[in-house]
Amino acid sequence: MSEYEYPSHRPSRRGPTGTSAAESGGPPSPGKARATVTRSGRTGFGVGVVGVVTAAVVAGALATPARAAESQTTQRARGDHRATQEAVDAAVAAGIPGAVASAQRGDRDRWFGQAGTADLRTGVPRRAEDRYRAGSITKTFVATVMLQLAAERKLSLDDTVDHWLPGLIQGNGHDGTRITLRQILNHTSGIYSYTEDKDFQHTAFSTDFLRNRFDTWSPRRIVALAMTHKPDFAPGADWHYSDTNYTVAGMVIEKATGRAYADEIERRILRPLHLNATTLPGTESRMPRPAGRAYSKLTGSLDAPGEPDSPLYDVTELNPSIAGAGGEIVSTTGDLNRFYQALMSGRLLKPRQLDEMTTTVPIKGTNLSYGLGLMKVKSSCGKDLWGHNGGIQGSGSETLVTTNGDHALSINYNADWGGPQDRIVEAEFCGK
């Protein structure tokens, strides 16, 4: 193991692991899309891959299982959440196997809505306590730890990557002596995203994944793959979402603390906030219970819609080391709402560090901007919302919260082709 590498085979001791009924597993991967923008912002949707039940294709169209566990909008939606429930119903009507949304205002006002099914074979409905893979939402947890370390003067955001990880970022024009920790957190480093490598995408997001789903990806292997490409731009000259940035961030946390980034997240965030359903599984491929199933069309590109009659694969089990610090986290809608509420209300960061995190640059042509592991969304009704989205094989998620941390919303689809969840967001925060 190199001096910059955190253990890739760390035990899965952060929360329960459970055993899943179906065998699967494979590489997930966090961020996604390529969008050239001036300076900082956000556009990627956490990418990933999936495993299949004995390589079997899940039979049947989505519309039928969706009816097996209908959401009963009229009975379940209360007051101003009715529009939110209707938007959740619409996602399933459009072809998602199952969707959930959970809203929280303050400490006590909580609402949960669901539609479709957690399992295409049994038709059981999705539940509030079910865990799911939340992909790139992991990045906000990692950035929070980095900012806590900055407050403790254990590192500076102006330190170079090479200061902490000498010689790691080099080759084909990459130069870690010119890249700061702030730039890796806000995606202005220019470091190539390994999830955009064509061979990686074929391995991780096509049916080839079924042969590779249990492979372990060490951080050094991930960075080495990124270094075979040229950087996207000179450090600080532009903005581009890169999952490699957060692989590097995880390695810096280990170097600065002597502990794996996952252990620091557990110690500094999960335990103090009692986020007991949230885990960082390391190389454990099974989902902790309770959990439903996760589905993909394995089109070769995460979040690609595929054809309406494309076969579906159960991709629930996978080795999440391929996502690592960029996207391995497993959680629930309730835990994620509480995390982002605590973050934005100042319970996790001092004012100076929270100001650093929420300093963003707009992404041209969108209603988004990106800070340090945190995106800002301008809603149609003028509200500023903060959070992150996350995609991984078989799962698409988003959590957003108002600036004061009072009103939070978490969404999950148990499929990776669902696309943006804007309608649900607008319904909850703007009543549309």
What tens digit of pLDDT does each residue of 40-84 get? 332 223 433 222 222 333 433 333 333 334 344 433 444 579 999
Phi-psi region of 385 (alpha: psi -120 to 50; beta: other; left: phi over 0): beta
Q: Under DSSP, is residue 247 helix (H, G, I), strand (E, B) or coil?
A: helix
* Strands 312-314, 295-296: pairing kind: antiparallel
pLDDT at residue 60, rounded to an integer:
33
* 109: CB partners within 8 A, 6+ apart: none
Q: Domain extents for the chain?
A: 53-430
Q: Which of 59, 14, 213, 28 is nearest to 136 (CA)?
A: 28
39 pLDDT above the threshold of 80 = no
Catalytic residue of the set 12, 24, 102, 136: 136
- Whose tokens are 């149609």? That residue is 380
**Do 300 and 210 form a contact (C-beta atoms < 8 A)?**
no
Contact present, 55 and 213 (Cβ < 8 Å) = no
Res. 422: pLDDT tops 80? yes
Catalytic status, residue 29:
no
DSSP 251-313: HHHHHHHSS-HHHHHIIIIIHHHT-TT-B--TT--SPPSSB---EE---SSTT----TT--EE
Residue 402 near residue 106 (C-beta atoms within 8 A): no
In the predicted structure, residue 330 carries a pLDDT above the cut 60: yes
- Per-residue pLDDT band for 306 (boundaries 50, 70, 90) equals confident
pLDDT score of 417 = 92
pLDDT at 79: 52
| Token digits of residue 23 | 């065998």
Kindly indicate whether the domain formed by 53-430 is annotated with CATH number 3.40.710.10: yes
pLDDT digits (tens, 9 = 90+) for 137-162: 999 999 999 999 999 999 999 999 99
- Among candidates 135, 43, 35, which has minimal Cα distance to 391? 135
Q: Is 113 helix (H, G, I), strand (E, B) or coil?
A: strand
